[in-house]
Amino acid sequence: MSKKMAKGVSSTFVYILGAMFMLSFIFVFEAMLTVFSRFYSDALAKKLVHIERNTRGISNQEEAEIITSNCNLFEGSWVLDDDVIDPLYNTTTCPFIRKTFDCTNRPDRQYLKYKWQPTGCDLPRFDGRDILRRYKGKQIMFIGDSLSLNNYDSFLCLLYVSVPGMNYKTKLTNQSVTVIFEDYDVSVTLFNSLFLVDVEVEHIGKVLKLNSIKNGEIWKQADVLIFNTWLWWARRKPKQPWDYIENGGKLVKDMNRMAAFRRGLNTWAQWVETEVDLTKTKVFYQGEAASHHHGEDWGEPGVKGCSNQTTPVVGSIYPGGLPLPAQIVKQVLKNMTNSVYLLDITILSHLRKDGHPSNYNGYGGIDCTHFCLSGVPDTWNQLFYASLLTS
Ligand SMILES: *[C@@H]1O[C@H](CO)[C@@H](O)[C@H](O)[C@H]1NC(C)=O
Ligand SMILES: *[C@@H]1O[C@H](CO)[C@@H](O)[C@H](O)[C@H]1NC(C)=O
Ligand SMILES: *[C@@H]1O[C@H](CO)[C@@H](O)[C@H](O)[C@H]1NC(C)=O
Ligand SMILES: *[C@@H]1O[C@H](CO)[C@@H](O)[C@H](O)[C@H]1NC(C)=O
């Protein structure tokens, strides 16, 4: 046997010994948990087993790469997970839940127990500490409308509860809010932009400019960008926040909204490709979410709104199909050079007709557009985390 081979055999031997040691450790640990569970509640023991299963030696990145190679994270179904005992966070444990997303008063609690199960693999767990370490000295920026805010609040809460009692400070500008987690020097910003392209006040009124992105100068300084827009493109007066549209140098009173959306999104796409330093900044697009106003979309004709919904749509297919704006997003991204990672949350959010605040938010009124926190946006962020690790 050559020296090299001998070395190979002996290191294999060491490796096997190591693995046996690990395995026996795990057996002992699980046996201890079994004993432990006789004295303490089953629920607590289950929680511990869950934590232990997620800490067997390999790094989060390795784990995520194993999990996501060959698996579409966005294809799957919602399954009831009885191991879920408490929500990940609530208004007591997280100071960032805005009233509109606060479902403390909602009487049914089952909506908190659904887990997104991709068809081909398990989703890596969200590791807030890992994000805080990885992005030390950096800035993560969410840019978009109130669905970005929904996502942002969830992200802040998930980070915050991963390091209880962490120090933070808040910084406001006229267009943004930034939470700085001081112990880790990580900044998380929400930049308010309904259309991504500009709306400017001119002498004739407010003009939606389909070919201009002035705020990009601010955005491109961040290290991670996560964009979203659609909700306001369809709005009409009095909710429509512009008087004219400027399209390729021409001013019009109105135009086909899908065409306007496509035009605006193409401007954004071009801006990403020409202005963002993709060696420094990662770019994501948060796919269109889901409103639930018409039961026929999910196979319950006659049902109006989401008020009495307590379970998701069963299975992987949304009867109403993929909405047109989500198709436009896919087309526009296909036209780019792989510079943007699509967080394709559209279908999985559509399946969650039960996830909205409906009439239980802190304001009154019915909301079937945003999602309860804790809730569905936590899954968006779990997917965001998995994508951050592997993209
Ligand atoms: C939040 O959760 C904690 C611990 O799980 C619990 O003690 C507290 O009462 C909850 N607060 C609300 C408002 O539900
Ligand atoms: C916000 O402030 C910046 C300068 O600090 C200014 O250029 C911009 O026009 C302001 N935006 C709005 C919407 O008021
Ligand atoms: C919800 O259910 C209650 C009680 O069954 C009913 O009175 C109410 O009309 C339902 N609301 C909607 C929007 O379907
Ligand atoms: C692809 O990009 C070009 C250049 O921005 C644009 O003119 C074209 O409309 C885009 N195609 C689609 C399908 O969006």
pLDDT of 211-225, one tens digit each? Answer: 999 999 999 999 999
Mean pLDDT of 203-213: 98
Gap from CA of 174 to ligand 2 centroid (Å): 6
Ligand nearest to the CA of 172: 2
Q: Could you give the CA distance from residue 61 to residue 34 in angstroms, rounded to a whole number?
A: 30
Mean pLDDT of 250-259: 97
For residue 90, which atom of ligand 1 is closest to its CA? Answer: 1
The answer to whether the beta carbons of residues 379 and 151 sit under 8 Å apart is no
Sequential DSSP letters for 290-357: ----BGGGGT-TT-BSSTT--SPPSSS--TT---HHHHHHHHHHHTS-S-EEEE--HHHHHT-TT-S-
Q: Could you give the CA distance from residue 321 to residue 332 in angstroms, rounded to a whole number?
A: 19
* 309: pLDDT strictly greater than 90: yes
Gap from CA of 90 to ligand 1 centroid (Å): 6
Q: Whose CA is nearest to atom 5 of ligand 4?
A: 266
Gap from CA of 207 to ligand 4 centroid (Å): 23
Ligand nearest to the CA of 192: 2
**Is-above-0.95 flag for pTM?**
no
For residue 308, which atom of ligand 3 is closest to its CA? Answer: 1
Letter string b/e over residues 45-74, b meaning 16 or more CB atoms within 10 A of that residue's CB = bbebbeeeeeeeeeebeebbeebbeebebb
Cα three-residue angle 340-313-121, rounded to 5 degrees: 50
Q: Is 43 in the pocket of ligand 1 (CB under 6 A)?
A: no
18-32, 91-105, 124-138, 201-215: least confident range: 18-32
Q: Could you read off the pLDDT of 51-96 as tens digits, one per residue? A: 333 444 567 766 666 666 678 999 999 999 988 888 999 999 999 9
